[in-house]
C-alpha cells in the first residue's frame, strides 16, 4: 500500500495524467457508438456489422476488447511519462535516501503499470456492460464468464505492452524518442520482418505475441487470410518476453546508477 500511495501521489499531481485518463473515458463510448452504427457494403447492400456478426451479449465481449485495445498507446504514454518525470526530477535517488529499497522502486513501477491496466480494463468493462443493457443485444447470463476471461486477456495485454514501454524508456531515456521508436517497431518494423520471414518464427516477436493474447474476432467473421497464434501459445510467448523486459527493468533499478 505504501508503494501504491507513493505512485498515486506522483501520478495524481500531473494534469497530463488526468487529461489522458479523461481522453480514454471519452473515446471508449465513442468507439461503442461507432461499432453500433457501422455498416459494410455487401453486394451493394448496406449491412449492420453487429447484425452480420450476429452479436449477442456473449459474442460482444471479444469485439469490444479487441477494438478498444487499439487505445493502448494512451496507457503506454502514461507509463513512459511517469518514468521520465521520475528521472528528470531525480526522484529515484530521493526515494532511496528516504528509505525505499531499489527492489521497492521496481515494484512500485510494476504496481503503477498494474493500476493503469486495471483502470482501463474496468473502464471498458463498465461501458461495455452499460452498452449491452441500453441496446437490444440479446442478454445471456453466460456472458459474465466470457467477459471475465476476455477482460483478463485485455488486462494482460496492456500490462505486457507497458512493461515493454517501461524497458525501452529505461534504455532510451527520452519520452518522445521512446514513443516514436516503440510505435515504429510495433506498426512498421516488426510487421516488415514478419512479412519477409516465411518460417513463422517471427510470429513469436513481442508485439505479435502480446496482440494475440487478445483474440481477434474479425479474422473468423471476415474470413481473413491472417495467421494468429493460439491464445495459449501467445500467453507462453508473452511470458518469455515479460521475463526479458521485466528482468532488464529489475536489473536497471537494482544494479545501475540511479
Tens-digit pLDDT profile for residues 16-56:
999 999 999 999 999 888 776 665 444 454 555 555 555 67
Q: Are 158 and 116 in contact (CB under 8 A)?
A: yes
What is the model's pLDDT at position 48?
56
Highest mean pLDDT among 4-8, 54-58, 180-184: 180-184
The domains of the chain are located at: 2-255
- Note the pTM of the prediction, 2 decimals: 0.89
**Would you say the C-alpha torsion 72, 36, 59, 220 has a positive or negative sign?**
negative
Q: What is residue 24's predicted lDDT score, i.e. its pLDDT?
A: 96
Helix 143-172 / helix 175-184 crossing angle, nearest 10 deg? 120
Instruction: Give the pLDDT band of residue 144 (cuts 50, 70, 90).
Output: confident
φ and ψ at 47, to 5 degrees? -120, 130
Q: Beta partners for 40?
A: 47
pLDDT tier, 82 (very low <50, low <70, confident <90, very high otherwise): very high
User: Is 106's pLDDT higher than 60?
Assistant: yes
Q: Considering only 3-7, 15-19, 39-43, 186-190, which range has the smallest mean pLDDT? A: 39-43
Round the average pLDDT of the chain to a whole number and report it: 86
pLDDT at residue 58, rounded to an integer: 76
Q: Is the pLDDT of residue 197 over 70?
A: yes
**Cell triple for 13:** 499531481
Residue 151: which pLDDT band, with cuts at 50, 70 and 90?
very high
Q: What is the pLDDT of residue 57?
A: 73
Amino acid at each position: 500500500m505504501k508503494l501504491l500511495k507513493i505512485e498515486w501521489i506522483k501520478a495524481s499531481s500531473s494534469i497530463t495524467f488526468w487529461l489522458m485518463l479523461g481522453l480514454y473515458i471519452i473515446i471508449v463510448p465513442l468507439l461503442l457508438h461507432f461499432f453500433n452504427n457501422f455498416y459494410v457494403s455487401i453486394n451493394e447492400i448496406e449491412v449492420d456489422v453487429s447484425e452480420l456478426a450476429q452479436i449477442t451479449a456473449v459474442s460482444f465481449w471479444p469485439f469490444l476488447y479487441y477494438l478498444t485495445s487499439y487505445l493502448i498507446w494512451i496507457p503506454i504514454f502514461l507509463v513512459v511519462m511517469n518514468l521520465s518525470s521520475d528521472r528528470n526530477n531525480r526522484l529515484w535517488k530521493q526515494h532511496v535516501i528516504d528509505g525505499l529499497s531499489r527492489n521497492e522502486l521496481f515494484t512500485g513501477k510494476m504496481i503503477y503499470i498494474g493500476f493503469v491496466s486495471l483502470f482501463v480494463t474496468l473502464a471498458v468493462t463498465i461501458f461495455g456492460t452499460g452498452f449491452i443493457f441500453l441496446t437490444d443485444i440479446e442478454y445471456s447470463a453466460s456472458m459474465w464468464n466470457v467477459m471475465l476471461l476476455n477482460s483478463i486477456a485485455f488486462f494482460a495485454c496492456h500490462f505486457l505492452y507497458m512493461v515493454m514501454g517501461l524497458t525501452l524508456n529505461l534504455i532510451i531515456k527520452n519520452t518522445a524518442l521512446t514513443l516514436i521508436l516503440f510505435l515504429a517497431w510495433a506498426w512498421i518494423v516488426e510487421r516488415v520482418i514478419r512479412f519477409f520471414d516465411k518460417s513463422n518464427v517471427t510470429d513469436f516477436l513481442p508485439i505479435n505475441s502480446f496482440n494475440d493474447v487478445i483474440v481477434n474476432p474479425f479474422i473468423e467473421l471476415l474470413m481473413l487470410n491472417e495467421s494468429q497464434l493460439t491464445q495459449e501459445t501467445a500467453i507462453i510467448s508473452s511470458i518469455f518476453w515479460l521475463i526479458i523486459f521485466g528482468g532488464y527493468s529489475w536489473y536497471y533499478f537494482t544494479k545501475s546508477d540511479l
